A and B are shown apart, each in its own frame.
Chain A
Amino acid sequence: MPAEDLSELGPVDFYVIEFPAGEANFTGEMAEELVKLVDAGIIRVIDVLILTKDADGEIDAMELSDVPDLGALVAIEGQLAELLAADDVVNLAAAMDPGSVAGVLVYENLWAAPFASAARRAGGQLIANGRIPIQAIIASLEADGALETEGA
């Protein structure tokens, strides 16, 4: 990819979505919502893998194209860039519990690309990013509540 194209690239994130044993309930809704995000230009799906970890911790990886009935994901499958390497599978599966199945989704945040490019052109550089867990927000609010109670 030329350097000028790279400068326009949005942030690339990944999700590992685990389905514990016996709890998967695939109705096609996830695929439809993902396709909506792609069609709306919010994200670009770069790669997808389906991982399984058996009770002994053995890992297996499946390409999206090997899924028998892709449904709405057919359109996405043809556009994948296959960024992930075999070495990545082990690192990604480290988060999984034995006996579970997980979907790995790598995507570009197209919505953030123009802002990121503008920040680069302004001389900025990303030095940190992250996600604030809902648990942390709850803990903060509960601590706030406790402070207010004590202060009353």
Chain B
Amino acid sequence: MPLRPARIGRVGVVRAPVAKAAVVGAAVASPGPSPIVKTAVVAAAVTPGRRRRI
């Protein structure tokens, strides 16, 4: 299907080829604790009240 004429010859806004992002589903399926445990751990990590250790 052709693009609309207005898109042809115009300066683009995406300046460089986009790299594929890591797929979240793949991380959850990675070795280690079960996906459910990992999900719970990540949720806890971004819960208000967690303090960083420096």
- Interface residues in chain A, defined as those with a beta carbon under 8 Å from any beta carbon in chain B: 14, 16, 49, 60-63, 66, 82-92, 94-97, 133-135, 137-138, 140-142
- Interface residues in chain B, defined as those with a beta carbon under 8 Å from any beta carbon in chain A: 1, 3-4, 6-22, 24, 27-28, 30, 32, 38, 41-42, 45-46
Q: Which residue of B lies closest to A134 (CB)?
A: B24
- A–B complex contacts, Cβ < 8 Å, 6 sampled: A63-B1, A88-B12, A91-B14, A133-B24, A134-B42, A142-B32
CA distance A141 to B40 in the complex (A): 12
Q: Give the tally of cross-chain contacts (CB within 8 A).
A: 83
Q: Are B19 and A137 in contact (CB under 8 A)?
A: no
Q: Which residue of B lies closest to A131 (CB)?
A: B21
Q: Are B13 and A138 in contact (CB under 8 A)?
A: no
CA distance A56 to B10 in the complex (A): 27
Q: Which residue of B lies closest to A93 (CB)?
A: B18
CA distance A137 to B38 in the complex (A): 10
Of A87, A135, A142, the contact of B11 (CB 8 Å cutoff) = A87
Q: Are A87 and B12 in contact (CB under 8 A)?
A: yes
Q: Which residue of B lies closest to A144 (CB)?
A: B53
Q: Are B21 and A133 in contact (CB under 8 A)?
A: yes
Q: Are B42 and A91 in contact (CB under 8 A)?
A: no
Of B8, B11, B18, the contact of A16 (CB 8 Å cutoff) = B18
Residues of the A chain whose Cβ atoms lie less than 8 Å from the Cβ of B12? 84-88, 91
